[in-house]
Structure 1
């Protein structure tokens, strides 16, 4: 795959990520802002420190412009990264076309980058948790992401190695079982993340985590479904010779 095609796919991946970010922002604003407001209200009601001075960014700006900026930038970034991952995966994970490869790449990224780490370190609303441990919790979360991605790549390589002897189906099952087992071991040995403080409403916590899951699911699903057709147009363009030939036949004089 030459650099011009990679560049074209990168641009289309970023465009697909932007569109996915728009849908994810709409969901986050409509569904996720309620639990965030509840978490902020809980933190203010249980804080023992007086809050002085005026806030630098208003809550309304945070929930609109700030949220949109963060989600859209994230969407464009993951769209570009997913496009590069698509270039690497195309033709290496099976005889799949551009659409199927894009969907499988997005699904794998959703599982390894978000879902698996979240099972170990569930999402927590802002203003909830001990600020003194935020650095440790962030490091553990990114460590879990790195382990999940590396184990996912190792599982794919294992499946490819076993496929000639075991068959594609059996090799895929074995690779999936090995991935789940390795991830389980990693979760057991890594320290647990900090839970929500006592008294925090369980309903608000559940709604926030479901909203976080929904944002990521919408983002990656839209990216996988939208990027596939865009990539297909780059990799499998319509033959210009056939179109030119038909045009010549129509314009030819009748004897």
Structure 2
């Protein structure tokens, strides 16, 4: 984890922020200051507003009230100082896009017209591929690559514009445990190397537990912010959900039992599935 002090620059600030759709409130009164070099995990059940938070930061979703600023000015769409890593999704077989083509879109895909080949562009793409260990399959079609390999490329693409802030929208979803660790390590390495602030939306804290500085947990229109030890506790989550929730620490992992409507990864490891307390402690 990163050691933070008061001199670190605040990249992202939300003050009394409120988001909802129609009569439905997702969260309100959110105060958050994300510093350079800090990784904040965003947790909560399905539909709690985790991805909506990222849309707010990307300028795609307006606040109902409050304010959100990036580097001291209101957020706006298309700010290339903000990188974005989406969920893993396999590419269609018919898509003739190579690995290096996907990364190149991060270099100049924001410009109009067909990009012209250039040594500078090619060198930049090579640098990005090397930074995530993807040079070996740079010329392979995306459809032939595994989920973990594709996520390596998406991280490289997100870093192409040398962002200050990295938004990760459940990038571990559908990945097996080794690739979850791989992707988590790549994001963490980039965070330290470039001094990035990171908002990391995830359903499972365990793959990034040793990397997290703070947790933002959203549930029932409310939230709590603090270190994992402060937030991921039985009293705190039970209060957020207005229901009995038990947090169990077992063999270096955090297991949450009893969360209503918890959406789990498609292929979670066996010890992360919804277990009873007796099963966990056996």
- TM-score under structure 1 length normalisation: 0.23
RCO higher in 1 or 2 (8 Å CA, sep ≥ 6)? 1
Higher helix proportion: 1
Q: Which has the larger radius of gyration?
A: 1
TM-score when normalising by structure 2: 0.22
Question: By percentage of residues, which structure has more strand?
Answer: 2
